[in-house]
Structure 1
Amino acid sequence: MGLISIIRLIKANYRKITLSGDMYLRSLGGSVGDNCRILTTSFGSEPWLISIGNNVTVTSGVKILTHDGATWLIRDFNGRRYSYKKVEIGNNVFIGVNSIIMPGVKIEDYVIIAAGSVVTKSVPEGSIVGGNPAKIIGDFFDYEAKAINNFISDNNLNKSLDYRERIDEVVDKSFKTFLK
């Protein structure tokens, strides 16, 4: 790759490199609420059609799509066809690594999207979804109760230790059961 190609690549990605995901989406016209962690910059070609509520985490590799690109194949005497749809993500939502949110999807409040999910339909409040295509696999409020009763709290972590020591002190050493 020549020097000019490298310079063009840096210029094309400069905004992505220098802005956090939430600032980047806002700079493209998207809407992002308070206290969000947006760890992706893959917002498709119509980012202004995306709105994200408060207390949302969008992890790395997540893609949020706002159009149906397959319409490129559909043409007649009136020309090519286009389909654009908004994506709305509510409050208190976690979207796992490498998930894909399809056009026209509304994700309501208190939702967890499992890693690698392909969300093709809207997700009701209080759901945990996963898979391809994503299906409801659990209840957010059941998970919340389990986490409160079984997982270590921020106040119970030994902050005098460095990160690795702190985690090694509390890591659950058990493994999940085998698939059948």
Structure 2
Amino acid sequence: MKRQDLKAFKDLDKLHKLLRNKIKKKWNRVLPFNEEIGDRWEKAKFLKFAKGASIYDSSLVFGDVKVGENTWVGPFTVLDGTAGLEIGSYCSISTGVQIYTHDSLRWALSGGKKRYEYGPVKIGDRCYFGPNAIVSMGVTIGDRCVIGTCSFVDKDIPGNSIVFGIPAKIVGKVVVTKKGKIELKFTQGRKNEKSL
């Protein structure tokens, strides 16, 4: 290794430690180096997401992906827009969420004789996706839905639904009161939550 290469590595290490300490002090978190130097809002702007949207550097984005205003896309996510993906405004897409618009199942099982399958995905406004949730191709999710952690969504979900499981099933609804309070009303599996 050349002397100038070694110096560059030492400089990067110094930068990493400086940024790590600054982020730890300000937000009490430690991030991978690429997240320390990347700007989530700049990446969203580069991808032509709407105003105020942000996406972590570790996220994989390909194809035609449209994201609405003030939507947060967490780290280690997959946004597959091969067949078109639309995500509304004020959504929270947690760590590890994967949203697919294509599938190679039949192609693989047929030894390449069948074609890949495609279907666009549309997600409404004000939706929350728990960590590691997966959305399959061809799905539409209405406004103000809660998709539970590790759930697999393979069919359309009407607005104001709470879904959990593999496959995801409706287990409750999101209710907005006249005073603007948000209530999670579970029809099965959990106690009802207090107003938010």
Answer yes or no: same fold by TM over 0.5: yes
More helix by percentage: 1
Contact 2:82/2:102 (<8 A) preserved: no
Contact 1:22 1:36 (8 Å CA) reproduced: no
Shift of 1:66: 1.0
Matches within 5 A, 1:60-75: 60-73=95-108, 75=110
Other-structure match for 2:159: 125
Distance 1:32 1:129 in 2: 22
TM-score (norm 2): 0.58
Alignment-mate amino acid for residue 31 of structure 1 = K
- Alignment size in residue pairs: 136
Q: Which stretch of the first structure deviates more once superposed, 129-138 or 63-72?
A: 63-72
Q: Is 1:25–1:47's contact at 8 Å kept on the other side of the alignment? A: no
- The answer to whether the Cα contact below 8 Å between 2:83 and 2:102 also exists between their aligned partners in 1 is no
Displaced runs of 4+ in structure 1, greater than 2 A?
Answer: 17-29, 73-76, 145-151
Task: Say if 2:82 and 2:101, in contact at 8 Å, map to a contact too.
Answer: yes
2:69 to 14, 34, 56: 34
Give the fraction of aligned pairs with identical amino acids, expressed as a percent.
31
The structural deviation recorded for 1:98 is 0.5
- Distance in 1 separating the partners of 2:151 and 2:110: 31
Say if 1:144 and 1:72 are closer, same or farther in 2 by CA, change over 3 A. Answer: same
User: 1: distance between equivalents of 2:153 and 2:44?
Assistant: 21
Q: Name stretches of at least 5 consecutive residues in structure 1 with no aligned partner.
A: 1-13, 152-180
Instruction: Compute the displacement of 1:82 (Å).
Output: 2.0
Q: Which has the higher strand share?
A: 2
1:30-65: per-residue Cα shift (whole Å, max 9, x none)?
101101111143123x45611111110000010011
* Pick aligned residue for 1:18 from 29, 33, 38: 38
**CA–CA separation in structure 1 for the residues paired with 2:83 and 2:44:** 13
Give the RMSD, CA atoms, in angstroms. Answer: 3.3
Q: Give runs of aligned pairs for residues 29-178 of structure 1, distance below 5 A.
A: 29-40=64-75, 41-44=77-80, 46-47=81-82, 49-73=84-108, 75=110, 79-141=113-175, 144-145=182-183, 150=195
Q: Is the 8 A contact 2:89 2:126 kept in 1?
A: yes
The higher-RCO structure (CA 8 Å, 6+ apart) is: 1
Contact 1:66 1:102 in 2 (8 A): yes
User: TM (normalized to structure 1)?
Assistant: 0.63
